[in-house]
Amino acid sequence: MSPDEISYFLIVYNIPADRAEVFQLGTDYKRALEAYNKAEESHRDNPDVEVVLLGSDSMETLYKTHSSYFELSERHIDEIVGRELAELGLR
C-alpha cells in the first residue's frame, strides 16, 4: 500500500463512558494532522478522553488492529439496547 492509499481516522475515546467516536478524515495527512491537533487541544484538560490519529487501509482493519477502542463501545451500545428493550417489556 502506498502512502497515497492510507486513510486517516481520528478516534476520540471517552474512557469512563467506554465510547469511541470515529471520524474518517480521508487520505490527506496534513488535513488529518490538523484535525488531530484541534481535537487534542479541545480535550487537553480532560484526562478521561484519549485522542488518537490512526492510518489504515480501511475501517475494517482498524476494528481488527485496534479492537479495544471498539469492543467497549459495542458493549456500551448493547447495554443501552438491552435497557430499552427491558423498558418496553421485550427482554
**The predicted structure's pLDDT at residue 61:** 83
Percent of the chain with pLDDT over 90: 38
Distance, CA of 77 to chain centre? 14
Average pLDDT over residues 8-23: 87
Residue 2 DSSP symbol:
-
Tens digits of residue pLDDT in 30-43: 999 999 999 999 99
**The predicted structure's pLDDT at residue 71:** 62
Bridge-based pairing state of the strands 19-26 and 49-56: unpaired
**The predicted structure's pLDDT at residue 7:** 92
- For 66, the grid coordinates are 485496534
The 3-state DSSP class for residue 53 equals strand
Residues in the chain: 91
Per-domain residue ranges for the chain?
3-87
Phi-psi category of residue 21: left, alpha or beta, with phi > 0 → left and psi -120 to 50 → alpha:
beta
Check: pTM over 0.75? Answer yes or no. no
For 8, the enclosing helix (H) or strand (E) is: strand 7-14
